[in-house]
Amino acid sequence: MIIDQIERANSYAYLGEGFEKAMNFLYDHRNGDLELGRYEISDDDYALVQSYETKPIEECHFEAHKRYIDVQYSISGSEGISWALTDHLHQADYDEKKDFIRLEGKGDIFPLTAGNFFILFPSDAHQPKIMIGKSEQIRKIVLKIRIR
């Protein structure tokens, strides 16, 4: 997992062409000028603009992905994201169509605040939507960058 600020988004271009395009997209839309929904970045990569209320950790679930790297960027609001290596959690079945693995266990919670992003690789199980103190409205962009 990598945690960084939006001003440094273009620092990750060395991770490949898909990463460069996706991070440029993120930087270009960092101020939240997009409506909620899905946006195609390339044939393999896309962005999801989301909004939701954070909730107690007991109502949140760990997930991981095999084919995509997640970049989660907060446009506004703060949430906790629990993190653990997938090998340290109990894994349920893999949904190949959705590229989604649900996991169970405990991790370390990191705050995702406005203007910051997390880069989450396939070994990084993550549990988003966790409220910090009280429930809060979050607006974020999640990049899905296909592993090539």
Q: What is the pLDDT of residues 94-147, one digit of tens each?
A: 999 999 999 999 999 999 999 999 999 999 999 999 999 999 999 999 999 999
How far apart (Å, rounded) are the C-alpha atoms in residues 3 and 12? 12
* Confidence check: pLDDT of 54 > 90: yes
CB 73 within 8 A of CB 30: yes
* Confidence check: pLDDT of 79 > 90: yes
How far apart (Å, rounded) are the C-alpha atoms in residues 131 and 53? 8
DSSP string, 48-86: EEEEEE-B-GGG--EEE-SSEEEEEEEEES-EEEEEEEG
- Which residues are registered as beta bridge partners of 104? 90
pTM exceeds 0.75: yes
Name every residue whose Cβ is closer than 8 Å to that of residue 77 and which is 6 or more positions away in sequence.
Answer: 54, 114, 136, 137, 138, 139, 140
Q: Which band of pLDDT confidence, cut at 50, 70 and 90, is reported for residue 93?
A: confident
CATH number at residue 104: 2.60.120.370
Q: What is the pLDDT of residues 13-32, one digit of tens each?
A: 899 889 999 999 999 999 99
Locate all alpha helices (DSSP H) within 1-148, ordered by sequence. Answer: 17-28
Q: Which domain holds residue 99?
A: 2-146
Instruction: Give the chain's domain count.
Output: 1
Task: Please tell me whether residue 20 adopts helix, strand or coil conformation.
Answer: helix
How far apart (Å, rounded) are the C-alpha atoms in residues 73 and 116? 6
What radius of gyration do the chain's Cα atoms show? Answer: 14
